[in-house]
Amino acid sequence: MADTPEAIKKSVRTYLFVGAILFIGTITTVLVATVPALDVGAHGFDKWDCILGLSIATIKASLVAFIFMHLNHEKKAVYWLFASGLCMVCSLAGLTALALGDPIFDKFFYSGH
Amino acid sequence: MEIPYVVTPRKDTGLFNSKIAIWLFLASEVMLFGGFFSAYVFLRLGADFPWPERTLPVLPGLINTFVLIGSSVTVVFAWASLKLRDWRKFQIFMGITVFCALIFMVLKGVEYNVKLHHQALRLKDYSVIEGHLGYETEDDKPVLDHKGNKIEENLINVETSKLTFNTVRFHKPWVEELLTQAEHRHSKIVLTADVSAITREGQAAEVIAKAGEPLSIELLNRIQKTHLAARSHNGVIRTAALRDEWKKAKAANPDKRGWQIADGVNIDMAVVTPQLLSEISTVAFTVDPSAHFDFHPRDIKPAATQSRLRDDTVIDGKLLDSPMVFHHVDAIDFQHLAMKAEEKGIDPEVAIENSWLIKNSPFAKQAWEWHQGEVAKLKAQLLKDYGADKDGKAIRFPTHKELYRIGWKDFAEKAEDEGRAKLAPADAFKEEFFGPNYEARGDETFPGFSVPREQVGFESKFTPAWNPYYAIYFTITGLHGLHVIGGALVLAYYLFFGRKMYLSNPEWLANRVEIGGLFWHFVDLVWIFVFPILYLM
């Protein structure tokens, strides 16, 4: 953790730089979603737009977590806490994915036959 | 008493206590929002309706993203200023952060407000109309209800002659509403016949309310009280009688099981009836003279001669024409109709040509024809730009939304094509936040339209009721908004009340700001996912 005045002054430049990357990342996300020439995959929204959009968002979120929230140099306890939260979320998302195999998603059930 | 480890770190964790606490809290927050994002994926993949893709206005969302990112930078600067013992700079950066939170909430408020006042209607054939409803007017002035609200032209009208209330379930505000409407229409609601009841065991019936007594909550309460007392009394009598019968049956058939004798155990009503009190489950009132009453569609199940409210009030009277009157239609959406047609193997274009809307609205027909021309142009452009595969099929083709939805921007473009004036850039910019400007663009661009009630399939404002997309949109953004408010309040507290602590123990304040800042970064981190998922996908 940047605790000495010199280290803090130095990290201020990093914060500004990260802020600029976050702005650029946001603009990129909007451009690839709205400008047809920058559209990836098929015309309009498809899985490639989803992957690209979420990848940019993940990079941005990681920058916020690692730089602004100082996760790049934290104590072990913090990593354990945060990682356990993330693991729970991943399990939850996994369980949701399992639910997609549920017969209620079968056409037979929702098409009124 | 001094609180330990708020400034200095604990030896075992290497952290001051509040930092452990905030990370524990953030871990739980990750799970909370993660759960909602999972729900979003589940709803989207399982949707049996066209998911509203890229439907929210991007500009306010984009500005809010910039605002949050900016505030994330300023909050970390505020913390750094405290570490460097520069109170003035801390005030400036924290002030900007709190101001950013304010801008965020104002923009969110505008976005919500537009949604909550925008009407959607799905016809029975699954065509969708969007726009704004009209209001009842008299001498060009809007008619107000007893609460001072303008009366929207989306009500079910019944020429009411009789009202029968369920004495237990009647909903007080609706009774009050009926009384107000009766007064407004110069009519009276009075008890149709004497209500008489046996209120004491073994005594004769007595009149508890006389015919002609006007409807009031007090009267209904009085009847309800008699009814509930009777029910309670009768319950005790019936149970005791049944218990006696059961004992007798058991004694007569000692070797049989309960279920084998159950059929033969019945109360002798001739013996029990004289002990019972009168239950009054419904009470009828006459509307004199019969009057035209309005009901909110969500409250009533309409029928030709006898309708019913959700609180079981029966309304006798002729159902009148109750069209939904749009003063301005700003979108026509055939996506759902096309989806249903495709499921049945019907050509969507044919289904649309035969839809009720195209057959009954010259404007919709004209707009659809214009739209088909635009789609043809788009197809040609995509073919020109991206070419065709070896079978001669275009590599890129219009989306379902482009094919079957005519949104307000399309209406505006159509009007401009037809030679109507363009909006000034400032007005056009405003539309990005507040939606279409009906006054400036005129009735020709966004015309009025009246939909007969029998064509209405489902109608709602753009609220969670409209479809699961709006349900999850309001849930996630609402929860995020509450976090913004909570975070901003904490940061504002440090800004306005932190001076004393700064002078006595600046390191403690710096630690507090770091904790508040961590939460604020998390709020930003969540928005980084919310924005592309809800606004751009």
- Residue B280 tokens read as 């009054």
CA distance B199 to B347: 68
Q: Which chain A residues are closer than 8 Å to B76 by Cβ? A: 15, 68
Average pLDDT (B2-17) is 81
Q: What pLDDT band is residue B3 in, cutting at 50, 70 and 90?
A: confident
pLDDT for the residue numbered A109: 62
The alpha-carbon gap from B375 to the nearest alpha carbon of chain A, in Å, equals 14
What percentage of chain A exceeds 90 in pLDDT?
Answer: 38
Q: Which chain B residues are closer than 8 Å to A73 by Cβ? A: none
Q: Is A19 in Cβ contact with B69 (below 8 Å)?
A: yes
- Candidate from B46, B398, B529 with C-beta closest to A61: B529
Q: What pLDDT band is residue A106 in, cutting at 50, 70 and 90?
A: low
Q: Which chain A residues are closer than 8 Å to B46 by Cβ? A: 100, 104-105
Give B39-49 pLDDT, tens digit per residue. 998 899 888 89
Average pLDDT (B300-323) is 94
Is A35 part of the contact surface with chain B (CB cutoff 8 Å)?
no
Give B111-150 pLDDT, tens digit per residue. 999 999 999 999 999 999 999 998 877 788 887 776 777 8
Res. B423: pLDDT tops 50: yes
- Residue B136 tokens read as 């009842």
Q: What pLDDT band is residue A111 in, cutting at 50, 70 and 90?
A: low
Domains in chain B (CATH in brackets) are 17-118+464-536 (1.20.120.80), 156-321 (no CATH), 329-461 (no CATH)
**Nearest-CA residue of chain A relative to B518?**
A69
Res. A113: pLDDT tops 50: no
pLDDT for the residue numbered B83: 92
Q: Is B532 in Cβ contact with A54 (below 8 Å)?
A: yes
- How many C-alpha atoms does A55 have within 13 Å on its Cβ side? 8
- Please indicate whether residue B215 or residue A39 has the higher confidence score (pLDDT): B215
Give B451-465 pLDDT, tens digit per residue. 998 899 999 999 999
Q: Is B362 exposed, middle or buried, given 0-12, 13-18 or 19+ CB atoms closer than 10 A?
A: exposed
Average pLDDT (B163-167) is 97
Q: Tell me the count of A-B CB pairs closer than 8 A.
A: 156
Res. A112: pLDDT tops 60: no
Average pLDDT (B435-447) is 90
Q: Enter the ipTM.
A: 0.89
- β partners of residue B331: B130
Nearest to A56 by CA among B532, B71, B536: B532
Nearest to B313 by CA among B327, B302, B304, B323: B302
Q: What pLDDT band is residue A99 in, cutting at 50, 70 and 90?
A: confident
Res. A107: pLDDT tops 70: no
| CA angle at B118 for the pair B115 and B120, rounded to the nearest 5° | 110
Average pLDDT (B208-219) is 95
Give B48-95 pLDDT, tens digit per residue. 899 999 999 999 999 999 999 999 999 999 999 999 999 999 999 999
Give B351-392 pLDDT, tens digit per residue. 999 999 999 999 999 999 999 999 999 999 999 988 888 888
Give the global pTM.
0.85
Nearest to B525 by CA among A40, A74, A87, A86: A86
pLDDT for the residue numbered B419: 85
Q: Is A88 in Cβ contact with B23 (below 8 Å)?
A: no
Nearest to A64 by CA among A35, A23, A105: A23
Please enumerate in sequence order all residues whose Cβ is within 8 A of that of B173, keeping only pairs 6 or more positions apart, or say none: none
Nearest to B276 by CA among B225, B235, B222: B235
Res. B521: pLDDT tops 80: yes
Candidates B8, B44, B63, B69, partner chain A, best to mutate (most A CBs within 10 A): B69
CA–centroid distance for B129 within its chain = 18
Strand, helix or coil at B126? coil
Res. A2: pLDDT tops 60: no
Q: Which chain B residues are closer than 8 Å to A104 by Cβ? A: 46
| Mean pLDDT taken over chain B | 93
What percentage of chain B exceeds 90 in pLDDT?
Answer: 78
Q: Which chain B residues are closer than 8 Å to A29 by Cβ? A: 531-532, 536
